[in-house]
Structure 1
């Protein structure tokens, strides 16, 4: 018994020593220049994104013109500003992003930008983009970092905050979040469709006019080469760019990868943002670093360590939550969002809705496009959660128009996934106004049939 206690005590001591070592490593001062660089890049690209929304009319199209908004679970109270409110909101976001880039009133501008961005994000699920989710996470992280210590107007106006060092955990957290998007984007690609070159083979059709690489993109080998290449790139690029021996070819691969993505796919600012963010993975210190003025190392506070550990654990678990649900996640959509499933599926759907008087069985067909924007309708036709939410939102209006209450609403959704024949996505006999979409599997979502071929 005494020997057992000594063994346990010894292991506990070694564990405490190891934890203490990591706490000291994360708290150690490092060059502040990479974090300042990321602040500038992040803010500048957010200014550009706000300008894009203004210049392309997306504020009106996405947040003013629609009659119905697909809110997120628990956030049904989030609604667009009325009148010119949405334009004012984006204008303020642009100013805040500029302040972040300049490092001006950063401690106020960064959290306000994060809150304002998440507000826009939460307005409508049909506008979900993985890189918007990434921006929201990074904006939240930046709100808690001392990214204005160097190369900022705050440091000019208040010289007492000017320092050329930051705790190591601040930069490591940014690196981790960017790495998560890459790595789990690769993990998500480990599925039969992607490894077989689907849906890449469909997306590359008509790409022959892309500068330099057009003829290759239309070749028969391109779908497999790009699918497998994208998978390996996502899984390996972060360690490759951080390792000295592979850094130069890794950077060249990053440039080629993101420029190709920008030319072939409509993915907005994402390739340019990831390109610009690449230097944060370069080794520190950067030029001008003077280690003589560094403070002594104080181990990371336990409370901060627990918060960071919880955040990291959450980021690692979320991409795997679809494994708790039956079926193909690209078909059912259960666990698809917030999991870095980027450009994995091509879904094309047709849907018809019927309002039913349960007491008489009388039916009325109605056109969903009368109530949704073209983008909303396109997304809703292939996403069960949006179908159910649409049914709940349109039910009161139809009950008033038809003078029938209650009304049941059913849908017949015929969907093709990655070139497969069309199949019925949801049970056409289920009243979607009562269909539940939550943590439990949605039994009213039908399984993907086991077709023998991907296209017929």
Structure 2
């Protein structure tokens, strides 16, 4: 009896019982090695290029995610130590040594780094947080690991099917939601891809052909179709092989066209999970796992299995719902940024902004213009100047610092207003936020921010007063 027929026998019970049928642990083991190696590579890059200092140690002010302003900030020495721990944990994941502990430590440490600086939000960082959490849950150490070699009781040739399907679902959500997000007017019109390709051609990084409209639209619509179709193509046995080759070519091309770090290689590794669970054995020895156990799947799940199903459903429900939350906010999400994060909205906007901040003492009416460079690094300013939430955070920080500096001389709580001009995907610059609103008085909340100026509209009120006027 071959592996596939045994799998059918094993899943003859309750439909949910199929989630607990044994499948070959080989693909999960290979992904464990690839994931750990990729994470180690990322940690090494942070040391090699000085990014720990640039992005986390040098800034005197750090932007926070909503609800995480309380997060303590490590010193430069502490951050260096944390990244060393992350590197050791990544090695533990790859080798399968103290695997559960290594995966849990990596998840906690990397999530801390992710939350440390909101201005450094990257979709693939968020994906790493999610995947490392899932890797701490699934038994990826059962096969081809030091744990299995040192402790034979932990060894096993199979894992429950839900462990593979959970990771497949997470990766599939990234693909599908990435495609849905591309169904917007700017992407379908070739922006911002047209501007990015033209810039890279002008700098001599790409051949001149990439500046043509035919290439721009081919990449735009090809990327859209790829994201929307790749998951069903990978799930259908007849198209799985060609689809995987297409996925590899797609991600390699992305790595060549854009500077997106480990994301293409992480996605190639994750896409292998859609192949047959026994694909590594077939590739190495051209024979599937023999003597696949076929335990009886009961008509009723055990309490532990029901709890597992409930947790899986809850996790996936959150992952399916969070990327859709931007529909709860008015306006263009690429402009307002409300609902942009954690939604797999990748490569959809090119924004340039210029922000001027004004502090006003309501007691005497005196106004001062603030230089953001006194508080932010260059890369922080560039990111902040296009995102309303960060603009408000910075305004509050400026008010706090000003009041501290004034001490007993401060007549009252100061007001902070901002004049921010932003260009989205090649549009002429326009005001991003209402310059008459005191950003320190506007509450920071998850709901819509009425002080964001809708794309294509301008407020009728005059801008804030300039010092000396």
**Gap change, CA 1:58 and 1:168, over 3 Å in 2:** same
**In the alignment, what sits opposite 1:281?**
274
Q: Which residue of 365, 369, 376 corresponds with 1:365?
A: 369
Residue 197 of structure 2 corresponds to residue 204 of structure 1: yes
Matched, 1:350 2:350: no
Q: Secondary structure at the match of 2:421?
A: strand
SS at 1:369 equivalent: helix
Q: 1:268-295, CA deviations, whole angstroms, 9 ceiling, x for partnerless residues?
A: 1001111222221112333251234454
> 1:321·1:335 contact (CA, 8 Å) conserved in 2?
yes
| Aligned residue in 2 for 1:399 | 403
The whole-number CA distance in structure 1 between the counterparts of 2:21 and 2:202 is 51
Shift of 1:378: 0.6
**How much does 1:392 deviate?**
1.3
Larger mean Cα displacement after TM superposition, 246-255 or 266-275? 246-255
Residues 1:58 and 2:51 are matched in the alignment: yes
Deviation at 1:147, TM superposition (A): 0.8
The 3-state SS of whatever aligns with 1:204 is helix
Post-superposition, which runs of at least 4 consecutive aligned residues in structure 1 deviate over 4 A? 209-213
| 1:433 and 2:440 aligned | yes
Range with greater deviation from structure 2 (255-264 or 62-71): 255-264
**What runs of 5+ residues in structure 2 fail to find an aligned partner?**
1-10, 282-287, 459-469
Q: Work out whether 1:297 is the aligned partner of 2:297.
A: yes
1:316 equivalent in alignment to 2:320 = yes
Query: How many residue pairs get matched?
Result: 434
Q: Which residue matches 2:5?
A: none
Return the alpha-carbon distance in structure 2 between the equivalents of residues 149 and 193 of structure 1.
Answer: 47
**Which residue does 1:140 correspond to in 2?**
133
**Counterpart in 2 of 1:415?**
422
Tell me, in whole angstroms, the C-alpha distance in 1 between the residues paired with 2:48 and 2:84.
12
222 and 437 in structure 1: CA distance in 2 versus 1, 3 angstrom threshold:
farther
Change (3 A) 1:31 1:74: same
3-state DSSP class of the match of 1:353? strand
1:129 aligns with 2:122: yes
After the TM superposition, which of the residue ranges 236-245 and 184-193 deviates more from structure 2?
236-245
Residue 225 of structure 2 corresponds to: 232
1:209 to partner: Cα distance: 8.8
Q: Would you say the 8 A contact 2:27–2:276 is kept in 1?
A: no
In structure 2, C-alpha distance between the alignment counterparts of 1:212 and 1:55, rounded to whole Å: 23
Whether contact under 8 Å (2:14, 2:297) holds in the other structure is no
* Consecutive unaligned residues in structure 1, runs of 5 or more: 1-17, 452-456
Alignment equivalent of 1:150, drawn from 143, 164, 168: 143
- Relative to the length of structure 1, the TM-score reads 0.91
1:111-140 C-alpha deviation (Å, 9 max, x unpaired)? 111111111111111000001101100111
Root-mean-square deviation (CA, aligned residues, Å) is: 2.1
> SS of the residue aligned with 2:276?
coil
Residues 406 and 450 of structure 1, relative CA distance in 2, 3 Å threshold: closer
After superposition, the Cα gap between the structure-2 partners of 1:359 and 1:450, relative to the gap in structure 1 and judged at 3 Å, is closer
Q: 1:109 aligns with which of 87, 92, 102?
A: 102
Distance 1:208 1:447, change over 3 A: closer
Q: Distance in 2 between matches of 1:199 and 1:218?
A: 13
Matches of 1:409 and 1:247 in 2, distance apart? 56
- Asked whether 1:448 is paired with 2:455, we answer yes
